Chains A and B, each alone.
Chain A
Amino acid sequence: MAAFSGYPRIGIYTGGGSSHSWLWFADLFERLGFWDLCFLDEAAVRQGALEHVDVLAVSGGDTFALAGALGCEGAGAVRRFVERGGIYFGSCAGAYLPMPSSKLPLNLFNFVDVRIANLASKIPPALRLREKFYTRYGCRYVFHPVREEILLGLKSKELLSSSSTIKAPLYGGPAMLPGEAVKVIASYKGFTEKTVFLTEEETCRITLIDKAAVVRCPLGDGCFYLFGPHLEHPRYPEANRIVGEILAVETGTRLPDGEEQSQTTAEPGLRIRSFNSALRRELGNARIVAAAMEFLNVRWIIGAKCYEPEKLRVFIEAMWRRLPLVEKNIATSENAEQLLSLGARTTHLLRELKTAVDEGRESDRLASNLFRVLRDYTACFLHLYFQTIKSLETVCRGKTGRLNHGLA
């Protein structure tokens, strides 16, 4: 454990309102070598889990649902966490959350002096992806002019050693208008050939360009970092590096090199082997159904968000590619029973959902239930994974890229 004692303990929010993108934070911190991770749902946040972490990462999802799940107690916990010196990373929905609002339950989270630039009384015409284009916000609309890749100009030279322009993906995150005490780290600078315009390009330009994309907002002894684009997205290493640098600067640590060598010598005992086998069985069963659903022409509306079947695979593969390392675990996990039970439940729900879709039945409610269980399952699994990393002091970093990894 000594190797990790100098690094911050990071909590990743996995509870109500979060989408699959919190997995990107887990991937990113793992790649950066920050392995002291825990996964927190709304109940954990309300019950004081933030007292034991240095950093809280809240990724994308449904902002209203996030606020609703955390509620008054959660809001208080987040505020106290930052005031006592905690670092809040909010990406996309996680960035909207602490901005000022008059709407319940968002108004419980009025922590920063940053306004939304992509807010309108009348929505501009949608060219595509209508259901992803806007969200009702009282009598106004938060609209998302572009999706996919955008260019960011970096503003904070003392904090950042990277180049002055980077690319990052935008999936509904805010363009921001910062108050005086707020420091702009990066602003929207332009579009790329991969930018998808959801409305007229001129409207996109007016709404986004030169608006803040990444900001730092102090509160008490801590601060909020709000990312409009998903800097944690796995295919954008330059953007990832910014998160790492912020983390290193704010927590006074260096970026770990993450090149630990395997020191594993012990073999798992019979009980652990039996657990590992059960874990592989259930995860494999779930993975088969999730892969089979990849091409189904269906989408589910859950809260204010639209979910495609491919996202099921994102959760499952996040676990699957880490399975070989978990199978090296030599200690009994305290959450073994819970993990297997969540695995079995996930497989059951996936199969039920596939049947419902095949038969043309309504499946939104099933999907909603499944995504909730899948979130818990993945969080529980990752908890064990990072426990295993720490106990083995090893990592299979070079092998985590393959989707098929886990069998060989």
Chain B
Amino acid sequence: MGIRVDALKCTGCMACEMACGYHRDDAFALLSSCIVAYRTREKKDYFGVILKEEESLVIARPEGVEVRKIGAAGESGGDSSAKPMLLRESCDLCSGMDAGPMCVRFCPVDAIILE
């Protein structure tokens, strides 16, 4: 079972990021989330979602979803990153929360689903 992100459905609202932050911090905050709305290319309208899983980094972009194995060699010849998002815990599918993964529950457009 895992999280799947449809980048083209995503509207970049950040609800997933805040919901995940709540799961981590029991408060509203963004810096601990393992799911992050990628939004640094604002003038280009290029946005998506990055999810840190136990063994991989899932990068959901308009052109498709790329899964980078943590520690595996990437296109550049090196590893994608030895410890990506070092200070953020990997996704645990919100273990311990009755409602299931919070990012799924709070996505208003069902761009994030559990499968």
Taking Cβ atoms with an 8 Å cutoff, the residues of A that contact B are 128-132, 147, 194, 196, 291-292, 294-295, 297, 299, 306, 308, 310-311, 313-314, 317, 402-404
Q: Are A308 and B32 in contact (CB under 8 A)?
A: no
User: What A residues does B85 contact at CB under 8 A?
Assistant: 294-295, 310
- Complex: A404 Cα to B79 Cα, angstroms: 29
What are some 11 contacts across the A-B interface (CB < 8 A)?
A129-B71, A295-B40, A310-B85, A310-B87, A314-B86, A403-B29, A403-B31, A403-B87, A404-B25, A404-B27, A404-B31
Q: Tell me the minimal C-beta distance from B24 to chain A in angstroms.
A: 9
Q: Are A132 and B50 in contact (CB under 8 A)?
A: no
CB proximity to A under 8 Å, residues B61-94:
70-73, 76, 78-79, 81-87
- Complex: A402 Cα to B32 Cα, angstroms: 8
**Known contacts A295-B50, A404-B25; is A132 also within 8 Å of B82 by CB?**
yes
Main secondary structure of the interface of B (DSSP, over half): loop
When C-beta atoms are compared, the residue in chain B nearest to A292 turns out to be B40
Tell me, yes or no, whether B106 is within 8 Å of chain A by CB.
no
User: What B residues does A130 contact at CB under 8 A?
Assistant: 73, 78
Q: Are B82 and A129 in contact (CB under 8 A)?
A: yes
- Complex: A129 Cα to B86 Cα, angstroms: 16
When C-beta atoms are compared, the residue in chain B nearest to A235 turns out to be B89
Taking Cβ atoms with an 8 Å cutoff, the residues of B that contact A are 25, 27, 29, 31-32, 36, 38, 40, 50, 54, 70-73, 76, 78-79, 81-87
User: What B residues does A131 contact at CB under 8 A?
Assistant: 78-79
Q: Tell me the minimal C-beta distance from B74 to chain A in angstroms.
A: 9
User: What A residues does B81 contact at CB under 8 A?
Assistant: 299, 308, 310
Q: Are A313 and B78 in contact (CB under 8 A)?
A: no
Q: Are B86 and A404 in contact (CB under 8 A)?
A: no
User: What B residues does A129 contact at CB under 8 A?
Assistant: 71, 79, 82
Q: Are A310 and B84 in contact (CB under 8 A)?
A: yes
**Known contacts A128-B71, A131-B78, A196-B71; is A310 also within 8 Å of B32 by CB?**
no
Q: Are B31 and A308 in contact (CB under 8 A)?
A: no
User: What A residues does B76 contact at CB under 8 A?
Assistant: 297
A-B residue pairs, 4 tightest by C-beta: A310-B86, A404-B29, A403-B31, A196-B71
A132-B82, A308-B82 are known; give 6 further A-B pairs, CB within 8 A.
A292-B40, A299-B78, A310-B81, A310-B85, A311-B86, A403-B31
Q: Tell me the minimal C-beta distance from A280 to chain B in angstroms.
A: 16
- Complex: A402 Cα to B85 Cα, angstroms: 15
User: What B residues does A299 contact at CB under 8 A?
Assistant: 78, 81
When C-beta atoms are compared, the residue in chain A nearest to B83 turns out to be A310
Q: Tell me the minimal C-beta distance from B87 to chain A in angstroms.
A: 6
User: What B residues does A308 contact at CB under 8 A?
Assistant: 81-84, 86
